Amino acid sequence: MSVTSPLRALEPLNRPSVADTVFDELHSQILLLELPPGTRMSEVEVAKALGVSRQPVRDAFYRLSKLGFLSIRPQRATLVSQISQTAVLQARFVRNAIEAETVRTACKVLTDDDLAALDQILEKQRQAVEARDAVSFHGFDDQFHKEICERAGLAFAWDIIRENKAHMDRVRFLSLSFASQDAFGDHLEIMEAIRARDEEKAMQQMRKHLSRIQEQIVRIRADHQQYFADEIDA
């Protein structure tokens, strides 16, 4: 005996929700430091500025707080979070562990088509370096790492990385003013090792690439102390 469900299909399913759009816009502005650490955030003001109701803004605020981008304090102002050096280095540790194993797998399973797709990303990144387009460079940087995970059959690995790298992302973006060429060079070396199916070299190059932030953060913190949280052990 069949039972008629009161649920109906949602239409359209392929269009992002208002909450997703609000989240993406705020995420981008915080990442690019258009909304710098310490900025006061109001649901009412954001909703008015974006021309939406408060509910999608509230949903976006919650998602951003889970990533570490917002500090929501009941009965007090919601603030764009200060950058935590501890969280940055923890994210580096997580990425090092996961992405080293990811490129090991990539060396074994990536096809010629996969390699060609990664080459296309690197060509776009090269153009961004030449144009000194930090925003595009950062996007292609993420895409390169994400594509390696997905094409190696390890999409879940990128999900874990994405959930842990919010503080790291802002430092990475700030580093592009002086380190984009180094980052691009690292990508070329990682790609060369994957193409050669050299697992150990690919892992070594990925670790080298992700560990650069340990030195970069010292310079960035000296230049942008106001962006960073005061941490005893930082």
- When pLDDT is cut at 50, 70 and 90, the band that residue 19 belongs to is confident
Average pLDDT for the chain: 90
Q: Given a cut of 90, is residue 77 above it in pLDDT? A: no
Segments of the chain assigned to CATH 1.20.120.530: 85-227
> What is the predicted pLDDT for the residue at 185?
97
Q: 73 or 186: whose pLDDT is higher?
A: 186
> What is the predicted pLDDT for the residue at 9?
47
At residue 78, φ and ψ (nearest 5 deg) are: -85, 130
When pLDDT is averaged across residues 7-24 and rounded to a whole number, the result is 67
Distance CA 60, CA 65 (A): 9
pLDDT digits (tens, 9 = 90+) for 149-205: 999 999 999 999 998 898 999 999 999 999 999 999 999 999 999 999 999 999 999
Structure tokens that stand for 182 in this block: 């180094």
Distance CA 217, CA 56 (A): 34
Please check whether the domain covering 85-227 is classified as CATH 1.20.120.530. Answer: yes
Top CATH class of 18-80 equals mainly alpha
> What is the predicted pLDDT for the residue at 3?
47
Segments of the chain assigned to CATH 1.10.10.10: 18-80
Do the Cβ atoms of 118 and 205 come closer than 8 Å?
no
Distance CA 144, CA 119 (A): 9
> What is the predicted pLDDT for the residue at 146?
97
What does pTM read for this prediction? 0.85
- When pLDDT is cut at 50, 70 and 90, the band that residue 13 belongs to is very low
Query: How are strands ordered across the β-sheet holding 70-71?
Result: 40-41, 78-80, 70-71
